Amino acid sequence: MTIGLLLVDDHAMVRRGLQVFLSTQPDIKVIGEASNGCEALERTAELHPDIILMDLHMPVMDGIETAKQLRISHPQVKIIVLTSFSDQDHVLPAIRVGIKGYLLKDIEPEALVVAIRKVHSGQVELHSAAASQLMNLMAASTPEQLNVSNSDLNGSSTTSVTITGSELLTPREQEVLDLIALGMSNKEIASKLVITEKTVKTHVSHVLGKLNLSDRTQAAIFALKSGYNS
């Protein structure tokens, strides 16, 4: 299945560079471009993309407001933010309006492709810096304040993340969960624990399965709510 992608960025050179690279991917097709949020809404209604790859800082209508409008008018479209900012003032509002990915513009091209495919398959993809901002906020919050629901991460449901099965984790899986909560990537976890990246992926898969969670972000939320990494 080909992934229809809409590029939204006010810099023509950025859009051009992304278009040239992504056109080399057999399963990704750039079906349109927009230079601001208003154009993005118009192009989305016209082209019905699967994914929108969008900057946050744009004239006329910024990325946050655009995502709000798209969540209402085209809730089936998945939004990936591609920006230069990883502070809480940018990360948290983006998550709250239902984005499915938060990436920084220094991302490696191959990693961007992987992220697009993951988001298209239903996963949430956060840059480690963005995940750390989310985790820092949650770690500093009270249990009442720490109510990040699936609607914040998935944009559809108001059911909180299910927390079950922590006693089933092995000591190594608990270590991996701790490091996920710190926002570490698989490569960073592998280096920290002196194991292969493939082994880390296996542990992450086991953690998600045992805890009945769908992605790393929910695993990190579970870790903080459950007292891991304290």
- For the chain, domain boundaries: 3-126, 148-225
CA-CA distances (angstroms) from residue 56 to 17, 23, 80, 186? 18, 23, 10, 27
Identify the CATH class of 148-225: mainly alpha
Q: What does 101-139 look like in DSSP terms, one character per residue?
A: EEEETT--HHHHHHHHHHHHTT--EE-HHHHHHHHHHHH
Q: Strand, helix or coil at 60?
A: coil
- What are the beta bridge partners of residue 80? 53, 101
Q: What is the reported pLDDT for 162?
A: 35
Q: What is the reported pLDDT for 28?
A: 97
Amino acid at 123: Q
CA atoms of 120 and 130, how far apart (whole Å): 19
CB 94 within 8 A of CB 65: no
CA atoms of 152 and 147, how far apart (whole Å): 10
Identify the CATH class of 3-126: alpha beta
Going from the first residue of the chain to its last (230 residues), give the mean pLDDT of each consecutive group of 10, the final group possibly shorter.
Answer: 96 96 96 97 97 96 94 94 88 86 92 94 83 65 45 41 54 88 87 94 89 80 64
Give the end-to-end CA distance of the chain in Å, rounded to a whole number: 43
Q: In what order do the strands lie in the sheet with 51-54?
A: 28-34, 3-8, 51-54, 78-83, 101-104, 125-126
Which of 39, 49, 52 minimizes the C-alpha distance to 4? 49
pLDDT, tens digit (0-9, with 9 covering 90-100), for 77-125: 999 999 999 887 888 888 888 899 999 999 999 999 999 999 999 888 8
pLDDT, tens digit (0-9, with 9 covering 90-100), for 174-193: 889 888 887 788 999 999 99
Q: What is the reported pLDDT for 160?
A: 35
